[in-house]
Amino acid sequence: MNYTRRKFIGTVAAGIGILLGRTAEGGTGVRKHDPFEKVKLGKSGITTTRLCLGTGIRGGGQQSNLTRLGYDNGVQLVRNIYHSGVRMVDMADTYGTHFIVGDALKIYPRKKYTLFTKIWLGNGEKISGTPVDIDAVLQRFLKELQTEYIDGVMMHCITSGNWNSVMSDYMTALDKAKQRGMIRSHGLSCHSLAAVETAVSEAWTDCIHVRFNPFGVNMDDRPEKVAPVVRQLHDAGTGVIAMKIFGEGKFADDSAKKDQSLTYALHSGAVDVLDIGMDKIEDLTDTITRIRAIPK
């Protein structure tokens, strides 16, 4: 797991042939998708790579598969994925991955990569317990990530269709943080169709994480119900980050379903960024190969 840069490049080359030297057409005259193409996240002003490193595989309780690799291996993996061309990393406070990502990327120019993370504020049904001090939490995030700003901070795991009313104070606090330059965008990670539908009419939502695959696995509803709502968000200028593309790992051993899921997201006209959980180099090379095989 402790790859050097030379060994990493060799591994990628062995896994995907002449990946770094191929044209978008792959020599066939047919334009193919590029996992490293620069895309805009709606009207947020953020431009990043189509493919995003997700760090939340089996995430919760301040740990995930990335943290379970151990600190040194986790840092090396993030750096290797950065060297491949991936320039966006998605995290959450509950994954415990801030320190690993912060240490891994601090050696690179800050403007070269995009950091998104999530803050747990409850699911949007009600505010319980002591209210969260947004400013204090964001200051901690900045310290853990060793950065002066975070590109996107999302309210984590929102299920309520009334979240914009229940969480209005938190939304205001995040907006003030954006005005001060602590964060560049804000939004939510949705775990219900009702939450996604509310976001359509809520201008506060700069970016959104949505569960998106053609099989309805670990999604908020049937794909035919979810996709049109997500398309409305995208068309209105909300940056759309698709997650659970492989059904939260349910398709890990099903090559056909993985290809269908990537094609579905890329051809939907509703998705900007593909947030794929990767905890080993083989995940990266496999995903790159599949994306580059999909015609535009």
Please state, rounded to an integer, the average pLDDT across all residues of the chain.
Answer: 92
The 3-state DSSP composition of the chain as helix, strand, coil percent (nearest 5) reads 40, 20, 40
Report the predicted TM-score, pTM, of the whole model to 2 decimal places. Answer: 0.91
| Cβ proximity of 164 and 195 under 8 Å | no
Angstrom distance (rounded) from CA 194 to CA 190: 9
- Under the banding of pLDDT at 50, 70 and 90, the label for residue 27 is low
| Cβ proximity of 205 and 234 under 8 Å | no
CA of 239: how far to CAs of 90, 158, 171, 232, in Å? Answer: 14, 17, 17, 11
Listed in sequence order, the residues at least 6 apart from 197 whose beta carbon sits closer than 8 Å to its beta carbon are 161, 229
Domains of the chain (ranges; CATH) run: 5-292 (3.20.20.100)
Structure tokens at 169: 């104070």
- Cα Rg of the chain, angstroms: 18
b/e for 123-149, b at 16 or more Cβ within 10 A?
Answer: bbeeeeeeebebeebbeebbebbebeb
For 247-293, the pLDDT digits (tens) are: 999 999 999 999 999 999 999 999 999 999 999 999 999 999 999 99
For 74-105, the pLDDT digits (tens) are: 999 999 999 999 999 999 999 999 999 999 99
- The DSSP line for 215-257 is T-TTSSS-HHHHHHHHHHHHHTT-EEEEE-TTTTTTTTT-HHH
Angstrom distance (rounded) from CA 94 to CA 78: 18
Amino acid (1-letter code) at residue 247: G
Listed in sequence order, the residues at least 6 apart from 139 whose beta carbon sits closer than 8 Å to its beta carbon are none
